[in-house]
């Protein structure tokens, strides 16, 4: 008989974890800089000497090596040395030879990470702060010295183990692209994953395969459970089986470097397995809620991590909705042995279909809100790839396990290579289909809330089919459509301009309805993709498509805008762009302007500008003035 208190307990745990998440962010320890021993209190402007320890395997970037380090000591301008704590993100020169566990003395100038300097730009500073990283620093090859190396501590030992497993994969017969996929699958290491492979997986809608999380931990638990399937269903045997599964889960977590996403999944599945060990009808929702509560008690800011939100939305949806959805597609058991095999296979396909569909739809509102893209062929890719994932994970783990035996290592590598080749082929095929990834989708906060309400109502309708619930779902959908139409109508008549902060460059975006004109310096005009990181999201939020890219010296005129001799007339406003090339130009009379924009630090004073121009607003477009 089902325990009637389980839903109540699950709801109570959910309320507690939400309250813990929201109120915990104001706790003292959620802000690393509040600690008096944090290094930010001793770092001054300019270079300073620091002693630190490299925590992670340095990741190769285009021109640098990136690694997280813990600051141990800082020497201030007076020469006094202060014991410190806190994380810092280091970018080493590509020629530097550093490894995890190295203790370094460096001369560096820690600086604040880049924030959201432009409208709707990703706030990298806030992203790092939530990870406990408050500063970044560039380390040239001549500005550091290795003074010690330590492999003590669980974190250090797991990092060393992870590095050795990466070396084992490099020593295998896998191609470079296959090695990158294998490392991402098993270790969560994406340093060797090329951009093309990542793009194909994203377009096919299976990026989650490259991020070690609930899927991978669940597969490990599933493999162990399948291997111990001969044990009976008595409580004693369930405890033995569950203990082995939990041990395997946390061994996998340790091997993957104890990344936050893996530890989150490990805790979640461990609690689920514990429920299966002691209950014939395990309280899975309670286990999921308890794992979230524990994680938020440790780090309340985890509530705002995209991975945390996506993983719990997907898992809760799978646990609650897969079985009711399967009941809508009934299949017989089959009378003959052949019929049982056929219908058994069809039931597994049905389960996989329901799991993929439910997980994707439950996370779609968050995916649209954070990434503004949607892979329409996700169901096809997941239906094919997810069964492959179990075989892939098993073959790569087997290859690593028999790496001491050359013949078996070669054979296992051949099997893993064949499976990875099939995965690459499927992924590249799906990603090459027309409109395989719909990008630049406008999706704001109200849309997220309304869509979440639609998903919840649709889920409740699946659990309790009622006309009133269906009416609420339809009404909520209508609200979303009306809101989207309102946003669309507003963007269709917009007329404004945004001046971007793009360092020593110049970029001004003029929005005219759903079109835009980018006025920029010649270098940016030749390579507009170089500033996409700072400007692309702004186009999405204005539902605009960039139709023209014009250099500053361009002469252009249409019904909406006039650009000539560094003068711009737009929407009844006038703007003059002044730099070193035209700051000495003089006119016979004082020019009336709405905006005067200065770039390239022109050699002119404010008084001289006032003599030449009668302006309402003065705008500086770079920070060296």
Q: What is the DSSP string of 212-223?
A: -SHHHHHHHHHH
Q: Tell me the average pLDDT across 405-428.
A: 89
Q: How far apart are CA 303 and CA 292, in angstroms?
A: 9
User: Which one is predicted more confidently, 3 or 380?
Assistant: 380
Query: What are the domain boundaries of the chain?
Result: 35-150, 152-205+375-441, 445-480, 495-620
C-alpha torsion 411→413→418→420, nearest 10: 160
pLDDT in the model for residue 19: 54
Among 49-63, 385-399, 483-497, 534-548, the range scoring the smallest mean pLDDT is 385-399
Q: Are 566 and 520 spatial neighbours (Cβ–Cβ below 8 Å)?
A: no
* pLDDT of 96 over the 60 cut: yes
Average pLDDT, the chain: 84
pLDDT higher than 90, residue 391: no
Give pTM, 2 decimals.
0.83
pLDDT attached to residue 457? 93
Segment among 160-174, 279-293, 392-406 with least mean pLDDT: 279-293
CATH-assigned architecture of domain 35-150:
Beta Barrel (2.40)
Q: Examine the pLDDT at 134 and tell me if it is beyond 70.
A: yes
Q: What is the pLDDT of residue 446?
A: 94
140 half-sphere exposure, CB direction, 13 A CA radius: 5
pLDDT value at 2 more than 50: no
284-298 and 5-24 are packed helices; what angle lies between their axes, rounded to 10 degrees? 20
Tokens of 20: 């813990």
Query: How many whole angstroms separate alpha carbon 85 and alpha carbon 146?
Result: 19
Please state the rounded mean pLDDT for residues 602-619.
Answer: 84
**Reduced to 3 states, what is the DSSP secondary structure of residue 104?**
strand
Element (H, E) at 614: strand 613-620
Q: pLDDT above 90 covers what percent of the chain?
A: 24
Q: Identify the three-state secondary structure at position 118.
A: coil
| 107: helix, strand or coil | strand
* Averaged pLDDT for residues 202-210: 81
Higher per-residue confidence, 232 vs 321: 321
- Give the range with max mean pLDDT: 319-323, 484-488, 606-610: 484-488
**pLDDT-derived band at 624, boundaries 50, 70, 90:** very low
Token output for 547: 């139709």
Mean pLDDT of 22-46: 70
Q: What is the mean pLDDT of residues 439-451?
A: 93
Percent of the chain having pLDDT more than 70?
93
| Mean per-residue pLDDT, 464-492 | 93
Torsion angle defined by CA atoms of residues 16, 18, 19 and 25, in that order, rounded to the nearest 10 degrees? 130
Tell me how far apart the alpha carbons of residues 597 and 234 are, in angstroms, rounded to a whole number: 78
> Is it the case that residue 28 has pLDDT exceeding 60?
no
Side-chain half-sphere CA neighbours of 177 within 13 A: 17
Average pLDDT in the 142-162 region? 82
């Amino acid at each position: 008989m089902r325990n009637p208190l389980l839903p109540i307990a699950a709801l109570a745990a959910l309320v507690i974890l939400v309250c813990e998440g929201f109120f915990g962010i104001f706790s003292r320890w959620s802000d690393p800089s509040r600690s008096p021993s944090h290094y930010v209190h001793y770092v001054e402007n300019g270079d300073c000497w620091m002693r630190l320890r490299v925590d992670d395997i340095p990741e190769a970037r285009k021109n640098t090596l990136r690694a997280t380090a813990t600051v141990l000591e800082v020497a201030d301008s007076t020469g006094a040395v202060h014991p410190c704590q806190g994380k810092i993100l280091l970018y080493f020169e590509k020629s530097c030879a550093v490894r995890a566990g190295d203790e370094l003395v460096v001369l560096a100038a820690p600086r604040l990470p880049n924030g959201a300097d432009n409208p709707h730009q990703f706030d990298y500073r806030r992203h790092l702060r939530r990870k406990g990283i408050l500063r970044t620093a560039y380390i040239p090859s001549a500005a550091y010295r290795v003074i010690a190396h330590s492999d003590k501590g669980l974190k250090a030992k797991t990092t060393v183990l992870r590095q050795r497993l990466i070396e084992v994969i490099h020593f295998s017969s896998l191609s470079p692209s296959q090695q990158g996929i294998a490392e991402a699958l098993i270790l969560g290491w994406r340093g060797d994953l090329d951009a093309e492979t990542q793009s194909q997986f994203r377009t096919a809608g299976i990026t989650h395969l490259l991020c070690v999380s609930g899927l991978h931990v669940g597969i490990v638990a599933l493999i162990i459970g399948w291997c111990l399937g001969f044990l009976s269903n008595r409580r004693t045997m369930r405890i033995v089986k569950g203990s082995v599964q939990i041990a395997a889960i946390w061994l996998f977590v340790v091997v993957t470097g104890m990344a936050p996403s893996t530890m989150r999944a490990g805790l979640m599945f461990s609690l689920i397995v514990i429920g299966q060990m002691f209950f014939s009808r395990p309280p899975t929702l309670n286990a999921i809620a308890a794992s979230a509560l524990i994680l938020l008690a440790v780090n309340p800011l985890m509530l705002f991590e995209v991975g945390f939100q996506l993983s719990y939305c997907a898992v809760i949806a799978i646990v609650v909705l897969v079985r009711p959805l399967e009941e809508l597609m009934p299949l017989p058991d089959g009378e003959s042995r052949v019929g049982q095999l056929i219908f058994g296979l069809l039931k597994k396909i049905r389960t996989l279909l329901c799991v993929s569909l439910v997980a994707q739809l439950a996370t779609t509102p968050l995916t649209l809100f954070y990434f503004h893209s949607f892979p329409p062929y996700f169901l096809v890719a997941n239906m094919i790839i997810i069964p492959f994932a179990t075989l892939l994970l098993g073959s790569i783990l087997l290859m690593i396990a028999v790496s001491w035996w050359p013949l078996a290592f070669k054979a296992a590598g051949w099997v893993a290579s064949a499976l990875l080749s099939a995965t690459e082929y499927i992924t590249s095929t799906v990603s090459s289909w027309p409109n395989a990834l719909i990008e630049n989708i406008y999706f704001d906060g109200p849309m997220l809330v309304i869509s979440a309400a639609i998903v919840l109502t649709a889920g409740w309708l699946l659990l309790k089919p009622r006309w009133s619930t269906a009416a609420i779902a339809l009404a909520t959908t209508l609200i979303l459509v009306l809101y989207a139409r309102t946003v669309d109508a507003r963007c269709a008549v917009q007329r404004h301009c945004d001046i971007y902060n793009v360092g020593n460059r110049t970029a001004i975006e003029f929005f005219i309805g759903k079109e835009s004109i980018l006025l920029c310096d010649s270098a940016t005009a030749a390579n507009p993709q170089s500033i996409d990181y700072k400007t692309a999201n702004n186009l999405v939020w204005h539902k605009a498509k960039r139709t023209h890219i014009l250099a500053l010296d361009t002469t252009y005129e249409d019904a909406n805008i006039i650009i000539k001799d560094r003068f711009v007339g737009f929407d009844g406003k006038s703007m003059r762009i002044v730099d070193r090339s035209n700051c000495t130009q003089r006119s016979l009379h004082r020019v009336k302007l709405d905006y005067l924009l200065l770039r390239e630090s022109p050699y002119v004073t404010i008084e001289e500008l006032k003599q030449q121009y009668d302006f309402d607003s003065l705008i500086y477009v770079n920070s060296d003035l």
